[in-house]
């Protein structure tokens, strides 16, 4: 994936236009197509030259808070961030932006400078009102007219570019774009990792959050009903608790599968809580 990042450390105030077609670029720069992206107050503009397979593009990210990096990227293979090559633009002074390229190989990337696998030229970025705009000319990978792309923003602490938020719109900022028709599609709903996260959450909620407490309530209150409920309360308790534990095992399996697919991302507290729950469930 190829990625363009602009970073700006200034105080930003004004609002931007809400439609890509309403925006006027400085120096009357014009693009043949544009689209409103589905998340993070972002817009994409482009002009394609079929004869040379190049793409003149501009990525516009509005409502940018202070101390924030901004990124847009193309992934030739898949619609996610991991395994990426990128172009970055970082502010070196209050009003100055500097552009560089970087290869992103894992979620633990520090966005270091590096070379890309296909040509990118005319890199520049500007700050206007409360938004950052990145310009570039890209040699399209594999002469493709459809691209998988992502866009993102994250915090800056000193000279360090921090990891972006892992919730909400920050997990929805990816999709595919048909450069010929201008049709844009979000793809987060079909991402296998997103489906695994949903499955992991649902299974564990049903197991540890619903069925386990019900099993305990069955044992406590039916047993108190006296000999009339004996041994019904015991069998119900066993059935509910055992079912909950089996569902919890499935939820744990999806969690470990997610962990194996998430290089560079670690949640030791979350993992520890899961191990404790499994241990307590097994003991009872």
Per the annotation, binding residues are 200, 237, 270
Q: Which residue in the block uniquely carries the two structure tokens 């299974």?
A: 203
Determine the Cα–Cα distance for residues 36 and 69; give it in Å rounded to an integer.
20
CB 175 within 8 A of CB 185: yes
Determine the Cα–Cα distance for residues 247 and 241; give it in Å rounded to an integer.
10
Please write down the HEC assignment for all residues of 133-175. Answer: EEEEEEECHHHCCEEEEEEEEEEEECCEECCCCCCHHHHCCEE
Residue positions forming the annotated binding site for heme b: 200, 237, 270
Pairing of strands 68-75, 146-157: antiparallel
At 130, list the tokens: 């409360």
Q: Which residues contact 280 (CB under 8 A, 6 or more apart)?
A: none
Determine the Cα–Cα distance for residues 192 and 194; give it in Å rounded to an integer.
5
Q: Which residues contact 84 (CB under 8 A, 6 or more apart)?
A: 1, 2, 3, 73, 75, 103, 104, 105, 109
């Amino acid at each position: 994936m190829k990625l363009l990042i602009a970073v700006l450390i200034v105080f930003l105030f004004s609002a931007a236009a809400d439609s890509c077609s309403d925006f006027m670029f400085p120096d009357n720069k014009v693009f043949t197509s544009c689209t409103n992206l589905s998340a993070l107050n972002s817009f994409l503009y482009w002009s394609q030259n079929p004869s040379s397979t190049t793409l003149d593009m501009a990525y516009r990210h509005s409502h940018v808070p202070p101390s924030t990096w901004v990124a847009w990227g193309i992934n030739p293979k898949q619609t996610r961030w991991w395994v990426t090559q990128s172009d970055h633009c970082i502010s070196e002074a209050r009003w100055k932006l500097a552009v560089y390229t970087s290869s992103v190989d894992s979620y633990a990337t520090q966005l270091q400078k590096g070379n890309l696998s296909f040509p990118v030229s005319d890199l520049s970025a500007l700050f206007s009102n409360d938004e950052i705009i990145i310009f570039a000319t890209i040699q399209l990978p594999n002469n493709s007219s459809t691209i998988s792309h992502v866009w993102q923003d994250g915090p800056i602490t000193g000279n360090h570019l921090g990891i972006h938020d892992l919730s909400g719109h920050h997990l929805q900022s990816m999709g595919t774009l048909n450069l010929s028709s201008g049709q844009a599609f979000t793809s987060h709903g079909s991402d296998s990792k997103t489906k695994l996260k949903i499955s992991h959450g649902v299974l564990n909620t049903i197991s540890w959050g619903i069925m386990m407490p019900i099993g305990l309530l069955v044992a406590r209150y039916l047993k108190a009903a006296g000999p009339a409920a004996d041994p019904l309360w015991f069998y119900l308790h066993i059935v509910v608790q055992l079912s909950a534990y089996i569902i919890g095992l499935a939820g744990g399996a999806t969690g470990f599968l997610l962990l194996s697919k998430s290089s560079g991302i670690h949640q030791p507290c979350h993992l520890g809580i899961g191990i404790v729950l499994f241990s307590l469930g097994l003991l009872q």
